[in-house]
Amino acid sequence: MTSSTFADRAAELDAADPLARHRALFLGTADASVRSYLDGNSLGRPLAVTPGSLTAFVGEQWGGRLIRGWDEGWLELPQQVGDKIGRVALGAAEGQCIVADSTSVLLYKLARAAVAARPERTEIVVDRDNFPTDRFIVEGIARERNLTVRWIDVAYDGGATTVDVAGAVGPQTALVLLSHVAYRSGHIADVEGITRVVHDAGALVLWDLSHSVGSVPAELDAWDVDFAAGCSYKYLNGGPGAPAWAYVAERHLATLDQPIPGWLGSADPFTMGAAYRPADGIRRLVSGTPPIVGMIAMRDMLDLLEDVGMPAVRTKSERLTAFAVEAVEAVLAPHGVVVASPRDPARRGGHITIDHPAFAAMVPDLWADGIIPDYRNPNGIRLGLSPLSTSFAEVAMAIGAIAERLDRAADADR
């Protein structure tokens, strides 16, 4: 099959897509200079209502209420937005989620709290293909606390399995840190099964949902997860540098001992007291002043996700990646392109990675042409398909553009 056949198929799939109308709710989707935006897994597009939400916040709330705003709702916003993420996207009951810091900082706080809760144990388990910040933070904590990192090796088109984790945990394991959806391969981990294996070993688990929240539904309460964290600027469209979120299971809240005990996580911040006493509940994870402006855009996206519902979002996401894999197999595989993501749509998140030695040099040229995927070492182009803002036509366009360039390179070689 040719790329033009796939362009026709894409047009049919877009016409039949029950969620297609939502694409127009995002800014820039009508901008002809961006022909295909496939990086929503890295930085989601803003919603068209968001400039108005930001202007209203600055004009009415910040400009109008000034410092009174803290008493009129801003101080509660981290928990309110956290609860909303929990309800809409995480399967988490109220009182367990909060918005704060960055994902890196929250991973640090939660991992430190977890190892503090298992003081007699000496090992942290993490996989070698996890996102760099996750690995670096685990290594940093191991240095600080004199612990050992136990590494799991994973397949290049996969991720950590229950069998891998069962082979790595033992009586010395304090904590296991893994990603729900692997940032490179897109592999979806069996969170429930792995969590059970970790608990059977007496250890705690911290899940990173940066690459799943807002595209792959989660059931953190039902899966018995201990701790989780994730980004809000990817599939939650919170904007560059938007604060992250964390989840702490209710059963751990009363004893959670986090390593950055700031005043706004203390029981009664405005007494300006002499000694730190942690707040009851999830607020004890807060250290300093919450980034209120950074929570405005993600609220708009959460409204939309709540309206559409995560099951429908996931169905569209599976269709997008299935179409992408099919087109890659038909149009790019003859050029030697390899799919470095799981073949089973049920084991695959919202993005796929495809490998070819020519890709490192090709990506800048694609960007210059308005085709925007991203590049991941060693040879990977990641196609990030944001379920509510990506069309099938964008997928076909990008794969056609990659095929054209590989064709040209092959002609030049002849």
Ligand X SMILES: *Cc1c(COP(=O)(O)O)cnc(C)c1O
Residues designated catalytic: 131, 208, 233-234, 382
Residue 258 main-chain phi, psi, to 5 deg: -95, 155
Parallel, antiparallel or unpaired: strands 36-37 and 204-208 = unpaired
Counting contacts by CB under 6 A, is residue 189 touching ligand X? no
Counting contacts by CB under 6 A, is residue 139 touching ligand X? no
The interface with ligand X within residues 190-229 (CB under 6 A) comprises 208, 210-211
Q: How many residues make contact with ligand X (CB under 6 A)?
A: 13
C-beta of residue 46 within 8 angstroms of C-beta of residue 297: yes
Counting contacts by CB under 6 A, is residue 386 touching ligand X? no
Among 53, 122, 133, 315, binds ligand X (CB under 6 A): 133
Among 26, 37, 183, 227, binds ligand X (CB under 6 A): 183
Counting contacts by CB under 6 A, is residue 185 touching ligand X? no
Q: How far is the CB of 356 from ligand X (least distance, A)?
A: 23
Q: How far is the CB of 274 from ligand X (least distance, A)?
A: 33
Helices (H), 183-242: 191-200
Q: Which two tokens stand for residue 12?
A: 């049919």
Is 134 or 355 the residue whose CB approaches ligand X more closely? 134
Q: How far is the CB of 138 from ligand X (least distance, A)?
A: 12
Q: How far is the CB of 171 from ligand X (least distance, A)?
A: 28
Among 179, 212, 237, 287, binds ligand X (CB under 6 A): 179
Q: In sequence order, what DSSP letters do the residues of 99-143 get, joined into one string? A: EES-HHHHHHHHHHHHHHTSTT--EEEEETTS-HHHHHHHHHHHH
Is 242 or 402 the residue whose CB approaches ligand X more closely? 242
Burial of residue 64, with CB atoms counted within 10 A of its CB: 0-12 exposed, 13-18 middle, 19 or more buried: exposed
Parallel, antiparallel or unpaired: strands 351-355 and 380-384 = antiparallel
The interface with ligand X within residues 233-252 (CB under 6 A) comprises 244
HSE toward the beta carbon, residue 291, CA cutoff 13 A: 18
Among 36, 50, 103, 266, binds ligand X (CB under 6 A): 103
CA dihedral over 334, 335, 340, 345, signed as positive or negative: negative
Strand, coil or helix: what is 384?
A: strand
Applying CB under 6 A, which residues contact ligand X?
102-104, 131, 133-134, 179, 183, 208, 210-211, 231, 244
